A = this chain, B = another copy of it.
């Protein structure tokens, strides 16, 4: 551990191993048991065996526990698109991003499913999710433009990518692991050719 990192922990107070992950799991469990509205940050901290002060070191509020993963997801998409071979078409680059995202979801299907049930049950959270997906589409479009993709093509590819992402995510959760999310995404990209009318 570097001196800088050690100083950081001294500054921030006692270091709790995997505090973020413990808070996230405690929040999901409480949201599921009692409902999102009925759960406070203090209760989440207590369930995780941490203080409320620790909670607020990691999250601005209880909603943020559900949405803080959005930035990592966006980075995952952007990195995959940026890192795709030069020869990849826009939809191939986007397909690489979908595969990377699918692999991450696959690893933690239980908490993904738990989170989704919480979000679906609350209108404000559903709205927040929509806004995050719109931001994700904009980030995908920007990453494609960075690759030299023309403006309108980048926007259209990004919107289509998010559509495939949403539909494959939903089908994957509904089908209870009959197929991997990556496979469902691939099938949808093939289906897209049929839909486009060729």
Contact = CB atoms under 8 A, between A and B. Distances in A.
| A contacts with B: majority SS | helix
A38 to B, nearest CB: 24
Interface stretch (A17-25, A62-70, A163-171): A163-171
Interface in A136-155: 152-153, 155
10 closest Cβ contacts across the A-B interface?
A159-B163, A198-B198, A196-B196, A193-B196, A192-B196, A130-B130, A157-B195, A91-B197, A193-B198, A155-B167
A147 to B, nearest CB: 14
A194 interface: yes
Contacts of A92: 197
A152 B130 contact: no
Contacts of A167: 152, 155-156, 159
Interface in A59-105: 89-92
Interface residue tally of chain A, by bracket?
20 to 34
Contacts of A163: 156, 159-160, 163
A131 interface: yes
